[in-house]
A and B are shown apart, each in its own frame.
Chain A
Amino acid sequence: MTKSIVLAVNGTKKTINVDPEEPLLYVLREEFGLNGPKFGCGLHQCGSCLVLANGQSSYTCRIPCSDFEGKKIETIEGLSKKGKLHSLQQSFFEVQAAQCGYCVNGMLISALELLRKNPNPNNHEIREALNKVICRCGTHSRFIKAVKKAADSQSKF
């Protein structure tokens, strides 16, 4: 049973006809053509599928897309403005914080949520924020460093 649903993703509203039970992840990938949020476990265990919904990091692999109606959804695709990288993306690049990169979406989203609430996090708070995201390549120490670097850059998040 499809239904028409309005979703606001990265500042653009779009009406889609979709099974309202369909988890947001598939809608973002199939209807919005996004690649940032990814399937990792479908179990709320790995953070690959994270987006920000009203500023809160939210899993999208199980939660129906209809639950996100009326919320402001942000993905990493929406971060860079006018071709210029967001300062968090910039510091990830400068630190070369990725190996395979599958977890980078979850790491960026978790870090962004943290930095907006707490622009000067300590090491412990950074780890705590990134803890929900699985990284199998062991790039954690670079992610931690990149978040610290972004915080030190005094940018607005």
Chain B
Amino acid sequence: MDFGLSEEQELIRDSFQGSLSRLAELDTVRRTAEAGAALDEDIWAELCGLGMAGLLIGEDYGGAGLGLLEAAVVAEELGRRVVPVPFVASAVMAPLAIRLGGDEDQCRAWLPAMADGSLRVGVAVSESAAGAREDAGVTAENGVLSGRALFVLDGVGAEGFVVADNAGGLHLVRADAAGLDRVGLKTIDRTRAVSELRFENTPADPLRQGEGVLRSVIDAGRVILAADSLGAGEEMLRQAVDYAGERKQFGRAIGSFQAVKHMCAEMASELQPCRALVWYGAYAMEHEPAQFSLAAAFAKSHVDEVGRFVARTATEVHGGMGFTDLMGLHYWFKRLGVNRAYLGSPERVRDEAARLQGFAA
């Protein structure tokens, strides 16, 4: 048994850490977020140079042909630095959907451009993954789509979409397709983009049918969001510990007060086992497929809860400073908040976990 990263995986982690520590300074993140861009082109270009966009795309199509564990390792680093680039949809869920559901022509048409970062693809599965809000939903009939899809991940600036219909089928849609309207949605998290799509007899190219594909795409997305939250949570803890060591009140560092220490100890304790949960979720996709959905559900729902706890506690350790825009801690707070809501809230995901195990009809 080996429950750890391989040397190659550690190398991937280190190279992303190295690049991001240089590129994704808080000032850069802030500039991008305040401009409402949710995408820093320089960071995007450099990370694509490291193979980020093509991680999960086979070598035949110009990608790196790696697995979900490598993607989770990268996601953790992106979360740690609240990096404003598309990832969960464009580099994980969309490639996976096409890999699993696409025929040779579809793969050729989409994957190579996605692998080099020249084609960014958003994913519209929120109604399937988290349930439909405001009666949103997409119907597919005679090769065209109609309806609304909300909370489309990595949607802004995307040139194409993977769209789930109400029956669990998946479709490829070009952003310039007739009858497609895209509306950006502003969320608390300005480091990543989300949008709404409106379809009116929009031509679409269906992927191979099958619940299994959609299921895997959602599960993979959940693991990646959990990995992102893990990185974000660890960074918030690191900042809290640092701050507590520097800030003085009553003549001593606030980190020497037990109440503050115990807040940090609790955050550390809650975060530690999350890593194993995330790694296993990612590993299960390729190696223990029968366990994948459940493992992804555990990772998503548990890390969501830990993420909320860490986000508030780390902020609290900073006192008034934590509440300011200046400190920038809120970028992590908000990223965690959004990860929790996307692709199924913890309650929803736990309910699915119960069903998966036959505990509920």
Are A and B genuine complex partners? no
